[in-house]
């Protein structure tokens, strides 16, 4: 089967496209951002991006040409509106949207970023997103028709256990790592961990915006990490942290799947989702607040055997959970087949 994959050619979007290829699809991967002018992101966030949909439609039309494909998947969809979907529909009879973010909140905390997607939602045959409390009702109110909700996923190829070299191990200056973007509130958590004596290293963009930056800066390593670089940092740490984005109403995140998949012990907020995905104290460690996180990390650092047992059990649990991209790709393909056969919405 031939798949038109419309999404960024980097990050987790690229990983998901590759997963479809690994399960047997002939993937035509086109970025909707390829021919947008450089300030498109601020244009979208501040104004709702008038004209972006048409630019994307024209760009996709030129690149698709007269190809015929079995279905299309739009990853994210923040710049793909009704005009672009009209172009896609001419080459692919079924169109799926996958969005790991939360564009369904009303009002949106992200200004006007999702305006184009909101207009396009009623035109998708299937809309797939991450599980959150009440998310199906939010999606239906926004116009989504057939809905599926899933756990966040790791990638079978990118997120796997590694054995760091002796040189890499000797170069590590921390035992606990957090990889993620600065957001309001995260700096205070990191500062408290440092104050409590947690040997911490932070990787990710925007940390210079943290009010606590003067304290944090010597604990900040590289900026944005993805792919093999991200996996190496997580694999090289004894413990990797999960922090959630409260503005998105997250109860778990991509790190919740990726860290155990890589084989590192995970320390994450105690939420109903994390408690469903992993046995507390056996497959992952959970915390309530920064002080509790610090104590949990220090206990794990003091007990190598328990920490490794938790890391190994968490890794095994990821397969039972099915939180991987190829599993997700097959799930979407099965639903596309149902739609083609006239399955009930």
- pLDDT tens digit sequence for 242-300: 999 988 999 999 999 999 999 999 999 999 999 999 999 999 999 999 999 999 999 99
Mean of per-residue pLDDT scores for the chain: 94
Q: Which residue has the tokens 């890589």?
A: 262
Q: Which long-range contacts (CB under 8 A, 24 or more apart) does 109-115 make?
A: 109/247, 109/248, 110/45, 110/247, 111/45, 111/46, 112/44, 112/45, 112/46, 112/47, 112/48, 112/49, 113/44, 113/45, 113/78, 114/78, 115/44, 115/48, 115/49
Whether the per-residue pLDDT at 171 is higher than 70: the answer is no
Cα–Cα dist 265/308, whole Å: 7
Domains in the chain, CATH or no CATH each: 2-153+324-340 (3.40.50.2000), 166-321 (3.40.50.2000)
| Percent of the chain with pLDDT strictly greater than 70 | 96
Res 167 pLDDT > 70: no
Residue 345, pLDDT above cutoff 50 = no
Residue 3 has pLDDT above 70, yes or no: yes
- Tell me which of 344 and 193 has the higher pLDDT: 193
Cα separation, 142 vs 123, in Å, equals 11
Q: Are 11 and 81 in contact (CB under 8 A)?
A: no
Which one, of 152, 212, 226, 159, lies nearest residue 182 by Cα? Answer: 212
Angle, in degrees to the nearest 10, between helices 304-321 and 254-262: 120
Tell me, what's the pLDDT at 110? 84
Q: What is the per-residue pLDDT across 26-72, written as a single tens digit (0 to 9) for each?
A: 999 999 999 899 999 999 999 999 999 999 999 999 999 999 999 99
Whole-angstrom distance between the N-terminal and C-terminal Cα of the chain?
23
DSSP string, 223-267: S---HHHHHHHHHHSSEEE----GGGT-SS-HHHHHHHHHT-EEE
49 neighbors 73 (Cβ within 8 angstroms): no
What Cα–Cα distance (Å) separates residue 94 from each residue in 5, 14, 219, 303?
12, 21, 48, 52
CA distance 337 to 49: 34
Under the phi-then-psi rule, with left for phi > 0, alpha for psi from -120 to 50, and beta for the rest, what region is 65? left
Residue 179 phi/psi, 5-degree rounding, is -115, 115
Please report the pLDDT score of residue 83 as a whole number: 98
Residues 192, 195, 197: CA angle, nearest 5 degrees: 115
Question: How far is it, in rounded angstroms, from Cα 186 to Cα 163?
Answer: 30
Query: Quick check: 170 pLDDT over 60?
Result: no
Q: How confident is the model at residue 168, as a pLDDT?
A: 53
Instruction: Give the span between the Cα atoms of 317 and 256, in whole angstroms.
Output: 12
Structural element, H or E, at residue 286: strand 285-287
Contacts of 142 (CB under 8 A, 6+ apart): 103, 104, 106, 118, 121
Which contacts (CB < 8 Å, 24+ apart) does range 303-307 have? Answer: 307/238, 307/239, 307/265
| DSSP code for 106 | S
pLDDT score at 174: 55
Q: Residue 166 pLDDT more than 60?
A: no
> Residue 165: what pLDDT?
56
Q: Which of 254, 72, 70, 77 is nearest to 150 (CA)?
A: 254
- The whole-number pLDDT of residue 35 equals 87
Residue 333 has pLDDT above 80, yes or no: yes
Task: Report how far residue 48's alpha carbon sits from residue 105's, in angstroms, rounded to the nearest whole number.
Answer: 16
Task: Give the C-alpha separation, 73 to 53, whole Å.
Answer: 17
Contacts of 340 (CB under 8 A, 6+ apart): 93, 94
pLDDT tens for each residue of 85-120: 999 999 999 999 999 999 999 888 888 999 999 999
Query: Whole-prediction pTM value?
Result: 0.94
């Amino acid at each position: 089967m031939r798949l038109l994959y419309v999404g960024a050619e980097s990050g987790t979007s690229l990983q998901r496209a590759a997963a479809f290829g690994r399960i047997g699809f002939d993937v035509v991967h086109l970025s909707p951002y390829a021919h947008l002018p450089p300030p498109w992101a601020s244009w979208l966030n501040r104004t709702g991006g008038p004209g972006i949909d048409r630019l994307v439609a024209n760009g996709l039309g030129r690149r698709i040409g007269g190809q015929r494909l079995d279905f299309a998947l739009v990853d994210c969809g923040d710049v793909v509106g009704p005009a672009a979907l009209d172009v896609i529909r001419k080459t692919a009879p079924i169109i799926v949207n996958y969005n790991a973010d939360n564009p369904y909140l009303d009002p949106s905390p992200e200004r006007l970023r999702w305006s184009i997607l909101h207009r396009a939602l009623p035109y998708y045959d299937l809309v797939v997103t991450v599980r959150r409390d009440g998310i199906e009702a939010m999606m239906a109110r926004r116009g989504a028709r057939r809905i599926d909700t899933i756990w966040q996923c790791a990638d079978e190829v990118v997120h796997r256990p590694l054995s760091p070299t002796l040189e890499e191990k000797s170069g590590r200056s921390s035992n606990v790592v957090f990889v993620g973007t600065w957001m309001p509130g995260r700096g205070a958590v990191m500062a408290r961990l440092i104050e409590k004596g947690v040997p911490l290293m932070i990787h990710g963009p925007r940390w210079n915006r943290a009010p606590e930056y003067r304290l944090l800066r010597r604990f900040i390593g590289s900026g944005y990490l993805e792919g093999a670089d991200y996996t190496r940092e997580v694999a090289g740490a004894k413990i990797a942290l999960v922090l959630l984005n409260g503005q998105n109403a997250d109860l778990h995140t991509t790190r919740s799947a990726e860290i155990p998949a890589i084989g590192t012990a995970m320390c994450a907020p105690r939420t109903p989702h994390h408690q469903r995905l992993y046995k507390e104290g056996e497959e992952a460690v959970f915390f309530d607040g920064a002080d509790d996180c610090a104590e949990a990390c220090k206990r794990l650092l003091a007990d190598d055997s328990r920490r490794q047992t938790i890391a190994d059990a968490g890794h095994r649990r990821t397969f039972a959970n099915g939180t991987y991209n190829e599993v997700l790709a097959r799930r979407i393909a099965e639903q596309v087949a149902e739609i083609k056969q006239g399955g009930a919405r």
